[in-house]
Structure 1
């Protein structure tokens, strides 16, 4: 039974990846966000880190928040490129559990996210209450076609793919904010295998 590859439509629905010319701006943004946090980082900080004028940074990034979204887009596109290898060696529900685990480990190791979650709970709360609904809807629309393909291939149990996507995104977001005390791979298997096994 073949496992479908991640559909090209999935990456097409992501924000476009920043071009190579943006790399030094994003690297400087990552350094400054890790140092100052999102609410305290300024365009002046990024310009100083790069050794360029503030107007140059404004022209390229627009704002600190826009720069943070560009960083996220870059990381999501980089993660997407790793999915075919994960899918190649996965069987059954592993095609969902492996990428979910890998993305959690990547999130927990991201210094910008670690800084924001640790030092800016008020910002995290505002961001979640303001944007959580649209973010979940958009993520579910992106993932549902992939889950439908996995169901058609017999890799996971047939169910409503959009509802499954919403549920998995909520699990991911909660685990990102509050990492479990136990091994996450074991936790995901215990939680998800009964729901996903055909």
Structure 2
């Protein structure tokens, strides 16, 4: 689900992070060789291997006068209509959201600067939906959306300015989640940056930093 993240700053527990941290933000980018309107649209489409379903989702455009949140809910609702999700979706959903966000940032310098302007403060996602893990525990997108933004923020920093311990711990969290839910069983899509394709590992989660 969408909405800007929240900044967990001492004394300001509910400060909104910049609009770039909203998965519903309409800002076009390339992913898997195609153009997408938003991270949410791309994410919902990547749940399915069926190209025709992906294209139905990709065909949903933001209408004149609509807010980004309206477009985000339109693609979210469409994504709930189909049951034929990829067999490893529970394992790769967090990685897929990370990849879609990373592609957006890599193709928009102003969004990189906006994210970096938040400094080193912790971020959590807006209130959102959750799901059960194989262990029986429940996890929520509020947690992972914040983690995704924090990871990308560190990876975007110039060499020497990254908090490498933080990068390493975040990457480990992502990897442990994937393997805890059964691991990657089908090829993951490629990501594209401002100068062409960023070759994505087709079997293992991406490791941009480290």
Larger radius of gyration: 1
TM-score normalised by L of structure 2: 0.35
Structure with more helix by fraction: 1
